[in-house]
Amino acid sequence: MNIICCQLLKNKIQAYYTDNSIKLSQLVQQADVYHVDGRLLVSVKNSSKINVSGFGHGIYIVKTQLNGQILNLKVSK
């Protein structure tokens, strides 16, 4: 597994890029992936894996919802 970027937050959710996917350490109710310019690129529900194979290299913001909390994670591809 090739981990490029990892972000650890207070509630211990981790997000990292590997194998053309952003993987989350926990199943989340919703995850939205944004380009750094604010464009929403993809949205998934009840998942811990987001396919980003069509995305270029760069930094992405993953906005997650877990137990009523909204968390933002930064991931590099």
Element (H, E) at 32: strand 21-35
Residue 56 belongs to a domain: yes
pTM: 0.80
Q: What tens digit of pLDDT does each residue of 17-61 get?
A: 988 999 999 999 999 999 989 999 999 999 999 999 999 899 999
Number of domains comprising the chain: 1
Note down the domain range covering 71: 6-76
> What distance in Å separates the CA atoms of residue 25 and residue 28, rounded to the nearest whole number?
9
Q: What tens digit of pLDDT does each residue of 17-29 get?
A: 988 999 999 999 9
Residue 1 belongs to a domain: no
Q: How many residues can be counted in the chain?
A: 77
